[in-house]
Every structure is written in C-alpha cells, then in structure tokens.
C-alpha cells in the first residue's frame, strides 16, 4: 500500500524509517512546510497533490494540531483514502465526526499511536471489547508526569527543580501545562473511554487535578505512610454514563503502579469476565510511536475498515457512585474540609470517603483562595 505522510517531524520521520525496507508499505508522498532533504524527491507543500493522487491508499497524519489536520483527514476520507493518525487532540475533539465519516466512506481510521505512544493499548482494548464488557480503565498515561513523580520519590527534590530537569532532558515542553495539569491524559482517556464504552465524552467536562502543586514534603509524608503518589486517570462504567476523572493518587508502595519508573506508562482495563490486564511501556519516543502508526497501516492492509468500535453515543459523566478518601493540603481554612476530615497527617489532612466529583469541584474552587492546594485520592 502507498502511504502519504502529512508532516515529517519526529514521528513522521520514524514512520519513514520503519517503512524504508518494506515491500508491503511504501511512503510515496510527504507533505512538508519547509524542504526536508531526506525526502526531497517525494515532498510537496500542496495537500491537493496527495488527496487527488489515486495511487495513495493511506494518509498518515503526523503533523499534530487541530487545523488544518481536521480538514486534511476529512478530505482524505471523502476521497476514499484510509487515515491513520497519531493526533490525540484531533481524535478527542472530533470523535463523532471522524468516526462516522470513516464508517460512511467505508475507509479505515486508526489512531493507536495517539494513546500510549508505542504501547499497543487501543488495539488490545478493542480486541477485548469484542468479547467482554469493560468495567474500568486507566492508569499512568503520561510519561512526563510519571518521570517527575518518580524522581520526587527517589530523592527529595522540589517540583520546579525536577520540572526544569525534565525540560532539559526533552521530556517536558517549554510550556509543561498539558503534561502536568492533566490535559494530555484527558485526551487519551476520552479516546480510551469512548472505545471501551461505545461512548462520546466531552473532553472539557472531565474533572482533573494535576501535580503542579505537589511538594517534596507531601512526598515525604506519603512515603512515611507507605504510599506512592502517581497521577492516574480513571474511566469507569456508571449507571447513567461514565465516571471519568484524573487526579494524583496514593497507591500502596508495593502496588504495580508504584513500580513504574521514569517516563513509562502502565495502562489497565478491567473486564467483567477477563479481570485486570495491563500494558506497560514507554508512552512516547520516536520509533515506538511511529511503530504504532505503521502497525495501523498493516492492519488496514490486512483488510480492517472503519474505527475500533462501531458505536459512538454521546454519554453523560456520572460520578454518583465513586467515592474514596483524600489527602488534602491547604493553608486556607474551609468548613467543608473540616467536616470531612477523618485524620491528620504531618503535612495535610485525610478525609473519609468523599464523592470524587464533589472533591474535584471543591478543589477547583479552593484553588482560587489557595493556589498552593494539593489533593490526592487514596486508592
């Protein structure tokens, strides 16, 4: 099959590399904004050269961003071409539009690299869904935040200092907010939950609390109590929809999540009859991420059409039955927190079981009076 790459950055050049010696997949065209010597003979700056080329079977979108990526992939599908993308923002934002267009046109639309980089998470989630119903999914879905939390547990270091180190290593971007506040995870969670529950969730509605305000004293307290703090995502089947949220979570120091080092991910589903299965690997990186793009092309070459799931029904967030204790550190007194306090730790308090959505809403409000507030669910 002939592939046109939209973009020739880190992932795009990785895809080109993986395909170079293959006979079944050929990169025959690359859309670039500026000349790329490695692919000079097949480059174009005009998307029309790609969408009107009948020899191109698959458009692999690895340029990122919402626009013109959205316009390009919809035009490609309307022209009868299969689309593979690594763009989580795009899929999360235009889930209904893109998946229904793929079904309507009878083309393949796959985005395995969009969640977990090179980890074969979405394909295995789709595989288990063919048999079993998913009860719950989530885990460690962002390498940058895990790198930071891992380092803060390994040795006392302030959040700003380790963030700077992550930026110097290229693990965190100059504006790190997407990684440390949860936005990046939220997109991956939306895509995963949509596939798991045949749902369409609104990304912006999912409550989240990041790791921006965690301190080395918080971590020292957690360690002394036998806990490890990780930024975890959760999406669970609920009576009236899906309960989805992202929050720092204290897991037992001997839990599998606690042992996830550096910028690795550990993503888990629990099936009604399958029980728990988890997938571990680096959630980013050029060749692994590009590999999932190429694997999607091979899947389409094997005859797969449409998206991972055939249904996409708008679904509400329902947090009614999700409750657990929380660690809360705030310098601004609050009556609701006082009423819910069950225990006092060195650096903060521990609540009784509190409804998750209630706590995340409270935390959002409390941040306006105490910008240094930190909370963590206790698993």
List contacts with a second copy (CB under 8 A). 18, 118-120, 123-124, 127-128, 130-132, 254-256, 258-261, 266, 268, 273-282, 285, 287-288, 291, 294-295, 298, 302-303
What gap in Å lies between CA 210 and CA 224, rounded to an integer?
22
**21, 16, 17: which is closest to 31 by C-alpha?**
16
58-61 and 82-85: which strand pairing?
parallel
**127, 346, 348, 143: which is closest to 260 by C-alpha?**
143
Sign of the alpha-carbon dihedral angle for 10, 24, 122, 18: negative
Q: Find the shortest distance in angstroms from Cβ 278 to a second copy.
A: 4
Q: Report residue 3 as tokens.
A: 């592939």
Question: 199 or 266, CB closer to a second copy?
Answer: 266
Q: Find the shortest distance in angstroms from Cβ 252 to a second copy.
A: 9
Question: 14 or 325, CB closer to a second copy?
Answer: 14
Question: 200 or 255, CB closer to a second copy?
Answer: 255
Residue 223 a catalytic site member: no
Q: Find the shortest distance in angstroms from Cβ 288 to a second copy.
A: 5
**314, 168, 323, 315: which is closest to 247 by C-alpha?**
323
Question: 20 or 240, CB closer to a second copy?
Answer: 20
Q: Find the shortest distance in angstroms from Cβ 254 to a second copy.
A: 6
Q: Could you tell me where the beta strands, DSSP code E, fall in 165-322? A: 199-200, 227-238, 241-252, 264-271, 275-282, 313-314
Q: Find the shortest distance in angstroms from Cβ 246 to a second copy.
A: 22
Q: Find the shortest distance in angstroms from Cβ 111 to a second copy.
A: 16
In the set 81, 88, 164, 188, the catalytic residue is 188
Q: Which residues contact 181 (CB under 8 A, 6 or more apart)?
A: 208, 210, 212
Question: 264 or 374, CB closer to a second copy?
Answer: 264
* Angle formed at CA 39 by CA 288 and CA 72, multiple of 5 degrees: 70
Helix then strand count (H, E) for the chain reads 14, 19
**DSSP string computed for 70-136:** HHHHHHHHHTT-EEEE--HHHHHHTHHHHHHHHHHHT-BEE-GGGTTTTS-HHHHHHHHHTT--EEE
Question: 118 or 210, CB closer to a second copy?
Answer: 118
User: Which residues are part of the catalytic machinery?
Assistant: 188
């Amino acid at each position: 099959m002939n592939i046109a790459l939209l973009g020739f950055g880190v992932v795009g050049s990785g895809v080109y590399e993986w395909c170079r010696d293959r006979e079944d997949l050929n990169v025959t065209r690359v859309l670039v904004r500026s000349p790329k010597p490695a692919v000079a003979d097949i480059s174009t700056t005009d998307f029309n050269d790609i969408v009107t080329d009948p020899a191109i079977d698959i458009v692999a979108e690895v340029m990122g961003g919402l626009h013109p990526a959205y316009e390009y992939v919809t035009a490609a599908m309307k022209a009868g071409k299969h689309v593979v993308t690594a763009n989580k923002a795009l899929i999360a934002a235009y889930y209904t539009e893109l998946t229904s267009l793929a079904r309507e046109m009878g083309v393949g639309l796959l985005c395995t690299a969009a969640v977990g980089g090179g980890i074969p998470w979405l394909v295995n989630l789709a595989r288990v869904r063919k048999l079993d119903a998913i009860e719950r999914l989530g885990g460690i879905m962002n390498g940058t935040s895990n790198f930071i939390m891992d380092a803060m547990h390994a040795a006392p270091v302030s959040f700003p200092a380790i963030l700077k180190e992550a930026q110097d290593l290229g693990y965190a971007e100059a504006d790190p907010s997407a990684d440390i506040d949860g936005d990046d995870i939220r997109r991956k969670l939306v895509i995963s939950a949509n596939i798991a529950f045949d749902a369409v969730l609104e990304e912006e509605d999912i409550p989240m609390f990041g790791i921006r305000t965690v301190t080395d004293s918080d971590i020292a307290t957690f360690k002394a109590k036998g806990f490890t703090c990780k930024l975890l995502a959760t999406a669970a089947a609920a009576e009236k929809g899906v309960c989805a949220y992202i929050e720092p979570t204290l897991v037992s120091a001997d839990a599998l999540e606690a042992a996830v080092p550096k910028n690795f991910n550990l993503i888990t589903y629990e099936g009604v009859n399958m029980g728990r299965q988890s997938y571990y690997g680096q959630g980013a990186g050029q060749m692994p991420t590009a590999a999932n793009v190429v694997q999607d092309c091979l899947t389409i070459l094997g005859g797969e059409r449409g998206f991972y799931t055939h249904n996409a029904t708008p679904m509400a967030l329902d947090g009614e039955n999700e409750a657990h204790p929380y660690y809360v550190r705030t310098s601004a007194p609050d009556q609701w927190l006082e009423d819910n306090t069950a225990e006092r730790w060195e650096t903060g308090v521990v609540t009784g079981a509190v409804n998750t959505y209630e706590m995340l809403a409270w935390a959002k409000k409390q941040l306006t009076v105490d910008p240094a507030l930190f909370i963590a669910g206790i698993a």
